[in-house]
Amino acid sequence: MSENASYVPPTRSRRGCFTCRRRKKKCDEKKPVCKGCTRNKLECKWPAERMRKPGQGGSEGIDADIISLANSSAGHKALAPRSKGVFVPGTEACGSTINADSSECALQETDVSRGYLDALSPETILSPLIETETHHGSFSDASKSSTSDSVSLLPVEDAGAPQDVLDERGDEHDLAQVDSFDPYISTETCMIASPNLWDALMEPMPPSPTENIPASLSILPHIDHDSSELLSFYLQKTANSMGNGSTDVNPFVVQLVPLAFQNNLVLRLILAQSAVHRQVSQDRQPSNELAERHYTDSLRLFRALVGVYLSGKHDGILPLAVGSLILSLTEVASGDIHGSTFNHIIAAKSLLKKVLPQRCTGMSLDLQNFLVEYYSHMSALSIIGMAPQIRLNSPMEPEIEAMANKMVEGKYVGQLCGCWLELLLVIPQIFALGESMKECSQDSTRPPSPDDITQFALLQARVLAFQPVPTAHPETALAGLVFKQAVLLYLWSILAGPHTIYEGNKMHHNLMKDAVIEALALLGQFPASARVNTSLCWPLAIIGCCISEEAQRDIVRNRLQTMLGTMSLGNMRETLVLLEHVWTRPLEDISPWNLSKMMEEKQIWISFA
C-alpha cells in the first residue's frame, strides 16, 4: 500500500469502555457504567481501571515486552512499507498503523499490543513462497489467500484480538464467553460454549453426536482431509527437516505432536508449518492457496489468544510460548527475508521467562529442556541479523541461561543444538562484547577497557576448551567442531577483519586463516546431504565471510545448494543469496560483523537458525 493512501478511521470507539471496543459498538463514555453495558447487562471496563492494576496476574513484564515490540517493530524497515508504522494485513480496509500518539496509546493497552499481533502478517511469511517462482517456476504470479472466500473464516483485515472477530448478531453472548475463556480448554468445549466466535476463528465444527456416526473414526475428527495430509507430511518430512538428526528421538514429534492433540493452537501451527514447508520443498503443490489458508487460520487463532492473554487470562501461556517458537521456525522454513522471525523470538522470550522457571502443569522435564534448547538455538543464531531497533537487550534471561548451563553440564544433545549448546550460549556474549568494543574502534582515543579484554580472554578460553560429548553421533561431533571454528572466527574478527593485513596483524590474520582451513576440512568429512547440516547456516555464513579464494567459496556455495535440495528449508536459500551479495563487496568490507549492514544493502533480514 502506498504511503499516500488515505487513512480510514477505525469503526470502534477510541475513548469508550473496553467492553464497547470489543463489541465494536459506539460508547456514550458515561462512567462508571455506560448505557450500552447497562442495556446489555455487561461488565463495563475502563482503561483507567486496567492501568491501576499493572501487576494483575503477574504478567506485567510480558505485557511490557510484547507492547514495546510495537514501537521497535515500527522501526524495522522490512515490516514497514508505510512510513513510521508497522504493516497490517488488509490496510486498505482498516488503515491500521502503530502511530506515535503515545498519550492515547498509553490508555489503550489492547490496541497498542496489536503492534506485535499486526506484525504477524500472512503476507510477511508467505511472500517468500510467492517469490520462489523466480527460482522454481511453480507458483502463481497472483496467488491469493483463500480465506476471504471461506465461510468459516473472516477476511484478513478483520483478524486481530478477540474483540475484532465477534459476530454482530450474537456479540453479547460471545463477549461473555471471551471474558471467561481459557485457551487451554479443549477445542470441542470452546466450540460448544461459543459457536459464533469459534466458527469465525476456525474451520467448521465437526458433526454433533446426534448426527450419523461415520464408518471410520478419526483421532482428530475436527480436521479435514487436507489437514490430515498435512499432518502426515509433518510426521514424514517436516519434523525431520526441522531437527538435525542428532538424537534417535525427535522432539518435534515426541513433544509437540502430543501437545497438538491437547491444544488446538499448537495443532493449527504445526499444520501451517507443514503446509509452508511443503510449498518450499520438492513436494510443493501447484497452488499456494492451501498454505496461505492454513497459515492465516493458525495466525488468526494465535493473535486471538494473545489478545485474550493480554486481557488478563493467563492459563494458556504454555501453548502461546510454544506457538511463538513454532512460528519463528516456520518463518525460517519459508525463507523469511522480512525479519518476522525476530518478532516471534522476542515474544517467545517474554512468555518463556514465565513458563520455564515455574514448570507449569503439563510440562515434563523433557519438554522444558526442549523449549530451552529451542529458544537458545533461535535467539543465538538470529541476533546477528537483527536490526538495532529490535535487538534483544539480553537475549538470554538469567533463569533460562541457568537451565541451559545445567543442560550443558548434563552433556545434553538435541535436535536443534546438536552437541554445541555451550557454544550457542557463548554467541550472545560475543555479540555483546563486539558491540562494546566497536565503540572503542570508532573512537581511536578510547582503548578497550580491562573488562573487555578480560571478557575476550575468558570467551576464547571457553570456546577453545569445547569438545563434543563422547556420546554424540560422528556427524554431530564433526558439525560441533565446525561450529567451534566458526565461533572462534566470530570472536577473533572483533579485533580486525578477516581480510585485513598490516604490520601488527600478521599473527591474527594467520590464526583466522588456519581456522578457515580447519573448518573446511571438517566439512569435507561428512556429506552435505546429512541431516545435521540443517543447523549449519550460521557457521557457513561466518566462514563465508572469512574466505577470499573462489575454490573455498565454491565449497560453501555447493554445500548450501545441496542442503537446499535435500532439506528444502528457505533459510538455506537466503543464506546463499546473502553470501553471493557479500562476495561482490571489496575484501576490506567483508566481515561477520558487517552481515547486518549487508542485509540492509540487500534489503533482506534473515535468521541463520
* Other CB atoms within 10 Å distance of the CB of residue 151: 7
Contact in structure between 486 and 492 (CB atoms under 8 Å): no
CATH number of 418-602, picked from 1.10.860, 1.20.190, 1.10.1740, 1.10.10: 1.20.190
Question: Tens digits of per-residue pLDDT, 354-395?
Answer: 888 776 656 789 999 999 999 999 999 998 887 665 555 566
pLDDT score for 93: 34
List the CATH code of the domain at 1-52.
Answer: 4.10.240
Q: Distance between CA 34 and CA 44 in Å, rounded?
A: 7
Q: Which residue has the higher pLDDT, 178 or 484?
A: 484
Alpha carbon 548 to its chain's center: 33
Contact in structure between 165 and 304 (CB atoms under 8 Å): yes
Any idea how long the chain is?
609
Q: Which residue has the higher pLDDT, 61 or 521?
A: 521
Contact in structure between 608 and 509 (CB atoms under 8 Å): no
The enclosing H or E element of 65 equals helix 60-74
pLDDT score for 135: 36
Contact in structure between 302 and 319 (CB atoms under 8 Å): no
Where are the domains positioned within the chain?
1-52, 418-602
Q: What is the dihedral of CA 46, 50, 53, 57, to 10 degrees?
A: 130
193: CB partners within 8 A, 6+ apart: 177
Q: Which of 387, 310, 313, 366 is nearest to 111 (CA)?
A: 310
Expressed in angstroms, the distance from the first to the final Cα of the chain is 31
pLDDT score for 74: 36
Q: Which of 557, 183, 544, 149 is nearest to 351 (CA)?
A: 183
Q: Is the pLDDT of residue 273 over 80?
A: yes
Q: Which residue has the higher pLDDT, 587 or 141?
A: 587
| Gyration radius from the chain CA atoms | 25
Spell out the alpha helix ranges (H) of 311-420: 317-334, 340-358, 365-380, 398-409
Q: What letter would DSSP give residue 34? A: -
pLDDT score for 523: 97
Which residue do the cell numbers 499516500 mark? 4
pLDDT band at 281 (very low <50, low <70, confident <90, very high): confident
Compute CA distances 253 → 239, 241, 267, 420, 531, whole Å. Answer: 7, 12, 12, 22, 16
pLDDT score for 390: 55
pLDDT score for 587: 92
Q: Is the pLDDT of residue 606 over 60?
A: yes
- Work out the mean pLDDT of the chain and round it to a whole number: 72
b/e map of 22-46 (b: 16 or more CB within 10 Å)? bbebebeeeeeebebbeeeebebbb
pLDDT score for 385: 81
**Greatest alpha-carbon span in the chain:** 85
Contact in structure between 588 and 594 (CB atoms under 8 Å): no
* Lowest-confidence region among 22-31, 55-64, 183-192: 183-192
Percent of the chain with pLDDT over 70: 65
Contact in structure between 381 and 424 (CB atoms under 8 Å): yes
DSSP letters for 313-335 = --TTHHHHHHHHHHHHHHHHHHT
DSSP letters for 107-174 = T-HHHHTHHHHHH--HHHHHHHHHHTHHHH--S-TT---SGGG-TTS--GGG-SSGGGG--TTSHHHH
pLDDT score for 362: 61
Q: Distance between CA 495 and CA 452 in Å, rounded?
A: 11
- Report pTM: 0.68
Compute CA distances 594 → 73, 317, 475, 490, 512, whole Å. Answer: 21, 37, 30, 11, 17
pLDDT band at 220 (very low <50, low <70, confident <90, very high): low
Question: Tens digits of per-residue pLDDT, 46-103?
Answer: 864 433 333 444 444 445 454 444 333 333 333 333 332 222 333 333 333 333 333 3
Q: Distance between CA 24 and CA 498 in Å, rounded?
A: 58
Contact in structure between 508 and 491 (CB atoms under 8 Å): no
Q: Is the pLDDT of residue 423 over 90?
A: yes
DSSP β-bridge partners for residue 605: 338
Mean pLDDT over 539-568 rounds to: 94
Mean pLDDT over 186-191 rounds to: 34
Q: Which of 159, 507, 509 is nearest to 301 (CA)?
A: 159
